[in-house]
Amino acid sequence: MNTVFCLVYLECSTRTRNIDTALVGPIISSTRESAIDAVFGYVKNRINDGLSDVFDNYVESSSEFEELGINGTWDLINNDYDEKLALVNYYFDSVDEDDMHSYYEIKELPTSSFIEQLQDADAIEIDGNFVRNFNLLTPEDVAGGDLGSYVEAHYADNELDIQYEFNLEQVKGAYFDPNARCWNVDGHYVNLVKFAK
């Protein structure tokens, strides 16, 4: 499944009436590392534009950083994604005070919807059970008002015999779970399989 990484962040006064005006993003990246680079660039610029005390405190929080000094610490951080992420987290935690809001988030998102992927799938795996043949309602069925089971899949082996059915509302409510790396459809983990041609 193709995914992208969506970055949003904000930093503003708690007196800001409309926080949406301070929100930056979404910034879409093809890799998690490039999304981290984007928010790290913001943090680095903020530190260099007058918030060097945040970085000084960060350096003082680690004996390793103190030994490296300011320039050595920057060199280490600039070349290590885990260190970049640690500084980003430290920065947003540090500036999120009583008079400031600060926040960032990187979410992994699929590049196409569950329904699009489902219509293109050759097989389906539900809760770890692989089903080669499954049935979908056609667009004509949906347009005609037939809103029964949108997906029907039957799994059987020597021990199990399971009939899976998802209606249109359950399919529309499917969401991508980046931790499981699959779709969650009404509490079921669903992977869609496309065979190479």
Q: What is the pLDDT of residues 136-192, one digit of tens each?
A: 776 666 666 666 677 888 887 778 778 888 888 888 889 999 888 889 999 999 988
CATH number at residue 189: 2.30.29.190
Answer yes or no: do 123 and 171 share one domain. Answer: yes
Strand ranges (E), 17-171? 24-29, 100-110, 123-126, 129-131, 134-136, 149-156, 161-167
Answer yes or no: do 125 and 102 share one domain. Answer: no
Answer yes or no: do 140 and 101 share one domain. Answer: no
* Structural domain boundaries enclosing 105: 3-110
Segment 105-130 shows an average pLDDT of 88
Answer yes or no: do 77 and 119 share one domain. Answer: no
* Residue finishing a domain among 76, 110, 144: 110
Answer yes or no: do 67 and 145 share one domain. Answer: no
Answer yes or no: do 126 and 162 share one domain. Answer: yes
Q: How many Cα atoms occupy the beta-carbon half-sphere of 145 within 13 Å?
A: 0
Answer yes or no: do 96 and 121 share one domain. Answer: no
Check: pTM over 0.85? Answer yes or no. Answer: no
pLDDT, residue 147, reads 64
Answer yes or no: do 99 and 171 share one domain. Answer: no
pLDDT, residue 139, reads 61
pLDDT, residue 144, reads 62
Segment 77-106 shows an average pLDDT of 86
Query: What's the full length of the chain, in residues?
Result: 197
Answer yes or no: do 123 and 143 share one domain. Answer: yes
pLDDT, residue 157, reads 77
pLDDT, residue 5, reads 93
* Residue finishing a domain among 110, 142, 158: 110
Segment 96-121 shows an average pLDDT of 85
Answer yes or no: do 95 and 185 share one domain. Answer: no
Task: Indicate the number of domains in the chain.
Answer: 2
Q: How far is CA 73 from CA 47, 90, 117, in A?
A: 14, 14, 45
Answer yes or no: do 188 and 175 share one domain. Answer: yes
Segment 117-146 shows an average pLDDT of 79
Q: What is the mean pLDDT of the chain?
A: 84
113: number of Cβ within 10 Å: 14
Answer yes or no: do 91 and 15 share one domain. Answer: yes
pLDDT, residue 62, reads 76
* Residue finishing a domain among 110, 139, 156: 110
Q: How far is CA 174 from CA 14, 114, 165, 168, in A?
A: 35, 7, 14, 10
